Amino acid sequence: MSLQHAILGFLSWKPLTGYELKKMFADSVTVYWSGNNNQIYRTLLDIHKKGFVTKEVQHQDDAPSRKIYTITEAGLEELRSWVLSPPEVPQLKHTFLIQLSWADQLSDDELDHLISSYEDEVHVHLLMLRKQAEVKTMSPERTQRERYLWDMIMQNWIVMYETELQWVRQLRHGLGDTTPERKHNDGH
């Protein structure tokens, strides 16, 4: 699991409440995590029990009390050793490709429509990423090296979806080319 470590990462910048963490995940494109509370609150309890954070309760009369979590030395150590742990290749859950695997049962028009709507999805997603990249939301940017890392991380997401868009366009055009041939060869 690395939600734990992403939370420790944010807390290494400054102390935060669960609610604030939830927002940071929701706002961040690169440190993506569905931004759902259940997991965040449970993970906070967990890392508190492990001693990676301390909890300070701030009572408020007219609202539920804020619980501010601060990272400890042990937490910083845990974060550091996780960052150094052997990196793994990204795992992509590419359901569209599985849909495509059995798409030969569709008519030419149905298939073209399916691919086109996927192309639109990817395109919209890419535009959203590019807009986010301009805004340059958070990240402390304390050193030039850190700024460079965060830029490259954002860049990674963008080039991935650019590549996907190129691929799907090639797919669609290639299909347009093979379809008449197919009719020639398979027709009779």
- Give the containing element (helix H, strand E) for 40: helix 37-49
Supply the minimum distance, in Å, between the C-beta of residue 182 and its own copies.
5
29 binds, among its own copies, DNA, none (CB under 5 to 8 A by kind): none
Cα–Cα–Cα angle for 39, 45, 50, nearest 5°? Answer: 120
Residue from 28, 30, 39, 132 touching DNA (CB under 7 A): that is 39
Supply the minimum distance, in Å, between the C-beta of residue 46 and its own copies.
18
Could you list the residues that contact its own copies (CB under 8 A)? 2, 5-6, 9, 12, 30-31, 79-80, 82-106, 110, 114, 117-118, 121-122, 125, 139, 142-146, 148-150, 152-153, 155-156, 159-161, 163-164, 167, 170-171, 174-175, 178-179, 181-182, 185-186
Name every residue whose Cβ is closer than 8 Å to that of residue 5 and which is 6 or more positions away in sequence.
Answer: 78, 79, 82, 83
Residue from 65, 117, 137, 179 touching DNA (CB under 7 A): that is 65
Tokens of 113: 């429509």
Residue from 9, 15, 19, 161 touching DNA (CB under 7 A): that is 19
Residue in this structure with the two tokens 């992403």, named with its chain if needed: 6
d(CA 28, CA 136): 10
Contact between 91 and 154 under an 8 Å Cβ cutoff? The reply is no
